[in-house]
Chain A
Amino acid sequence: MPARTSWIPYALIAPSVVFLAALFLVPLVQTIWLSFSAGEGLSLENYQRMAGDLNFALAVKNTFLLTLVVVPLQVVLALGMATMVTKLDKGRDLVLWVLTIPLGISDLAAGLAWLALLQNTGYLNSALYALGLIQGPTGWLSQETPVALFFAIVLAELWRATAIVLVILIAGLQLIPKEFAEAAEIFGAKPWTRFTRITLPLLKPSLQSALILRTVLAFEVFAVVYALGGRNFPVLAGEAYVWQNDNQNYGVAAAYAVLIMAISLAATAVYLRVLRTRPEQLP
């Protein structure tokens, strides 16, 4: 029935194409247009102002640093957690459910929860004080303690967003047939060899999806950073917000948005290329 199948796929994806075009492509084109328009006609003025701002270099550095630290840690953690969860016989669903609770909490709420733990009068200081380790309220999130602030943000991000990697990897692990591992075991392969030679290569498509998703989200990190550090730790999305809301300069805010998009697209392209899977490598 070639005549019938030819149009069905298009009809099925049409609603999502229309949806994306209306709510994604149109604002995207508008944002790009806004970022290049300053005064009369097109110019790079907004980009020059963005690059010349005192927080720009810091925001780029912080965003990349955070992504480079958080994403690999999350993948390693999620791999470990996913492997353990798939090995569980009893209570697997309960464990999975508990591990994914942070997914159900909004970014800002997660940031505020960590703020309640880490601020001067927070639970961490109360505990340290009770143990006699500090003399009084100690600040961890101020502009004068950048290292502690960075670790606080890393910790909050790990807690908040590792679960999304976990869910994707568990789905990937379940697709790998047990026969491969069993065969390797018969030939005497040790668990670590089985993991690096069988599980990891076959998990590549899932890893790719997880990495793309997490990296793109990491470049957009905002609410957690804002809740914990305010502007003490400038990041790209935070600067876009400040230019839009506080400085009321929509052009420079749009330039930041376009920059974040460009970085995310570049990262996605890198992942697609580096973690490419040929059809014959699929299980």
Chain B
Amino acid sequence: MTHPVSLRAIAAAAALFGGLTVAQAQETIFYSTQLRPIEEATKVREVLLKGLSGKTTYVVDEPPAFAVRMKAETQAGKRTASVVGALHGELQPHVPADLQPVDDVAAKLTDRGIPASLMDLGKLGTGQQQYIPWMQATYVMVANKQALQYLPAGADVNSLTYAQLQQWGKNIVDKTGQRRLGFPAGPTGLLPRFFQGYFYPSFTGGVVTTFKSADAQAGWNALKELWAVSNPNSTNYNFMQEPLLSGEVWIAWDHIARVKEALTLQPDQFVAFPAPAGPKGRGYMPVIAGLAIPKDAPNRAGAVAVIEHLTKPQTQLATAAEVGFFPVVKAELPADLAPGIKALAGAVAATQNAKDALVSLLPVGLGAKGGEFNKVYMDSFQRIVLRNEPVKDVLEAQAKALDALMKDTGAPCWAPDKPSQGACAVQ
């Protein structure tokens, strides 16, 4: 029995570590920040990685620990992981120090039908492919069916506007006395992405250039009204599925992975639908997880085999069915998906196909400053909405911080902002 892949792996590893045994050389360590919960990790180990020759060990870690370990292994000169899986934004700080280009892998995968826009994101602003898109997700709204009776007259959940969402929340306050709209504004919640992918594009048609525009000021005032009918515990929420399942919140916006449990546990109780639209359109942000190969990976051939396997259409479909992340390759979702996953897939499709859809890409070229980029939006939120400071003054002050950050990194504008020569500047 010959396995060209594992033979290559042995050869490569043997060249690197002459003294290592064959058994160790065959092992490929797959280190990931995604699919961490034990149920999902088990699915990866027992279903998604099945069919690979050679031993693949799937190891998961929290994103901050991932960042530290990647850097530490580079500094120590001893790499353990051969292939890493993480979000676009989590891989970005590791270019170019900790990752090696994977142009050769990209060339092998041209028949997969991964859209060019996604492959471009995988270059992370450099000239070479840094990661291969692995799976994608986005953010949706989820509502408890009890809330539907309070929908404003004439409103359709699939084409909601921010004004209608506010009215909906207000109707619920008026009728039940409780603020039941919820946002993940807690310490590890994804509210920064709401501002960058939803709120700013919908209200201003941009993310950076329009930061302090008149449209932005109007948007923040609308958000203050929205917050007045939102649950005050929102600043404690990290995963909206928890307050949704406990009934504390009836309408929520969050990443599909963070509301999935509500939909899979009680598919009859919840509905999923696209985020609302603002004056400039229905802003939405796709989330991309990628597979990359670290510098000095002990088993590069094994890593390439893992990437090839995970991007196969049938593995991609299995990923959607088992863990609720959607394919990056051309593949039709099967009809027999679980009802919760099906509802999410429906909401994602409704978002992507909405007439007024306005796609907002992930920030590119911010490098390790991605955290501080989020901070600009969260600080604005904290000052304007939570501390009730004057909108115009706060935006002026935060725009300076944002401008400095952009100049510092030299990051050019990304969609929906118009392309720029040089660093993206606040207008």
Contact A245 B375 (CB under 8 A): no
Contact of B64 with A by CB under 8 A: yes
Q: Mark B245-268, 1 if CB is under 8 A from A, else 0.
A: 010100000000000000000000
Q: Mark A229-249, 1 if CB is under 8 A from B, else 0.
A: 111100000000010111111
CB distance from B160 to the nearest CB of A (A): 26
Q: Mark B184-197, 1 if CB is under 8 A from A, else 0.
A: 00110000000000
Q: How large is the interface on A (under 10, 10 to 19, 20 to 34, 35 or more residues)?
A: 20 to 34
Contact A247 B233 (CB under 8 A): no
> Contact check: which of A54, A231, A244 meets B187 at CB < 8 Å?
A231
Report how far A139 CA is from B246 CA in the complex, Å.
Answer: 14
Contact of B372 with A by CB under 8 A: yes
> Given A120-B248, A136-B177, A242-B187 in contact, is the A144-B232 Cβ separation under 8 Å?
yes
Contact A142 B236 (CB under 8 A): yes
Contact of B52 with A by CB under 8 A: no
Contact of A150 with B by CB under 8 A: no
Contact of A114 with B by CB under 8 A: no
Contact A247 B246 (CB under 8 A): no
Chain B contacts of A136 at CB under 8 A?
177-178
CB distance from B39 to the nearest CB of A (A): 21
Report how far A244 CA is from B232 CA in the complex, Å.
Answer: 27
Identify the closest chain B residue to A248 (Cβ): B371
Contact of A121 with B by CB under 8 A: yes
Contact A246 B371 (CB under 8 A): yes
Chain B contacts of A191 at CB under 8 A?
none
> Given A136-B178, A248-B93 in contact, is the A231-B235 Cβ separation under 8 Å?
yes
CB distance from A245 to the nearest CB of B (A): 5
Q: Mark A242-260, 1 if CB is under 8 A from B, else 0.
A: 1011111100000000000
Q: Mark B231-246, 1 if CB is under 8 A from A, else 0.
A: 1110110000000001
Contact B372 A139 (CB under 8 A): no
Interface residues of B in 370-411 (CB under 8 A from A): 370-372, 374-375, 379, 382-383, 386
> Contact check: which of B64, B178, B232, B371 meets A249 at CB < 8 Å?
B371
Contact of A226 with B by CB under 8 A: yes
Contact B374 A232 (CB under 8 A): no
Contact of A202 with B by CB under 8 A: no
Report how far A101 CA is from B368 CA in the complex, Å.
Answer: 43
Report how far A139 CA is from B230 CA in the complex, Å.
Answer: 13
Chain A contacts of B119 at CB under 8 A?
none
Report how far A204 CA is from B213 CA in the complex, Å.
Answer: 63
Contact A54 B382 (CB under 8 A): yes
Report how far A136 CA is from B231 CA in the complex, Å.
Answer: 14
Report how far A232 CA is from B64 CA in the complex, Å.
Answer: 22
Chain B contacts of A145 at CB under 8 A?
232
Contact of A141 with B by CB under 8 A: yes
Contact of B67 with A by CB under 8 A: yes
Interface of chain B, helix or strand or loop or mixed? helix
> Contact check: which of B233, B370, B371, B379 meets A142 at CB < 8 Å?
B233
Contact A247 B372 (CB under 8 A): yes
Report how far A141 CA is from B235 CA in the complex, Å.
Answer: 10
Contact A232 B235 (CB under 8 A): yes
Report how far A55 CA is from B67 CA in the complex, Å.
Answer: 25
Identify the closest chain B residue to A53 (Cβ): B379
Chain A contacts of B375 at CB under 8 A?
246-247
Identify the closest chain B residue to A52 (Cβ): B401
Report how far A231 CA is from B368 CA in the complex, Å.
Answer: 22
CB distance from A159 to the nearest CB of B (A): 20
CB distance from A152 to the nearest CB of B (A): 12
Report how far A231 CA is from B381 CA in the complex, Å.
Answer: 13
Q: Mark A78-100, 1 if CB is under 8 A from B, else 0.
A: 00000000000000000000000
Chain A contacts of B67 at CB under 8 A?
248
CB distance from A172 to the nearest CB of B (A): 39
Report how far A55 CA is from B370 CA in the complex, Å.
Answer: 19
Contact B371 A247 (CB under 8 A): yes
Identify the closest chain A residue to B178 (Cβ): A136
Chain B contacts of A142 at CB under 8 A?
232-233, 235-236
Contact of A72 with B by CB under 8 A: no
CB distance from A237 to the nearest CB of B (A): 13
Contact A141 B187 (CB under 8 A): no
Report how far A69 CA is from B409 CA in the complex, Å.
Answer: 44
Chain B contacts of A27 at CB under 8 A?
none
CB distance from B258 to the nearest CB of A (A): 16
Contact A248 B368 (CB under 8 A): yes
Identify the closest chain A residue to B397 (Cβ): A54
Report how far A272 CA is from B172 CA in the complex, Å.
Answer: 59
> Given A54-B379, A226-B187, A242-B187 in contact, is the A143-B370 Cβ separation under 8 Å?
no
Contact B386 A143 (CB under 8 A): yes
Q: Mark B333-352, 1 if CB is under 8 A from A, else 0.
A: 00000000000000000000
Identify the closest chain A residue to B379 (Cβ): A54
Identify the closest chain B residue to A241 (Cβ): B187
Chain A contacts of B236 at CB under 8 A?
141-142, 229-230, 232
Chain A contacts of B386 at CB under 8 A?
143
Interface residues of A in 93-113 (CB under 8 A from B): none
Contact B232 A139 (CB under 8 A): yes
Chain B contacts of A247 at CB under 8 A?
371-372, 374-375
Report how far A246 CA is from B246 CA in the complex, Å.
Answer: 28
> Contact check: which of B177, B233, B383 meets A141 at CB < 8 Å?
B233
Identify the closest chain B residue to A229 (Cβ): B236
Report how far A49 CA is from B93 CA in the complex, Å.
Answer: 21
Known: A54-B382, A142-B236. 9 other contacts (CB 8 A): A120-B233, A143-B235, A230-B187, A231-B186, A242-B187, A246-B187, A246-B371, A248-B93, A248-B370
Residues of B within 8 A of A (CB): 64, 67, 93, 177-178, 186-187, 231-233, 235-236, 246, 248, 368-372, 374-375, 379, 382-383, 386
Residues of A within 8 A of B (CB): 54-55, 120-121, 135-137, 139, 141-145, 226, 229-232, 242, 244-249
10 tightest A-B CB contacts, nearest first: A248-B371, A142-B232, A247-B371, A144-B232, A245-B64, A143-B235, A230-B187, A230-B186, A230-B236, A142-B233
The 20 listed contacts between A and B (C-beta, < 8 Å) are A54-B379, A55-B382, A120-B246, A121-B246, A136-B178, A139-B232, A141-B236, A142-B233, A143-B232, A143-B235, A230-B186, A230-B235, A232-B235, A244-B64, A245-B64, A246-B374, A247-B371, A247-B374, A248-B368, A248-B371
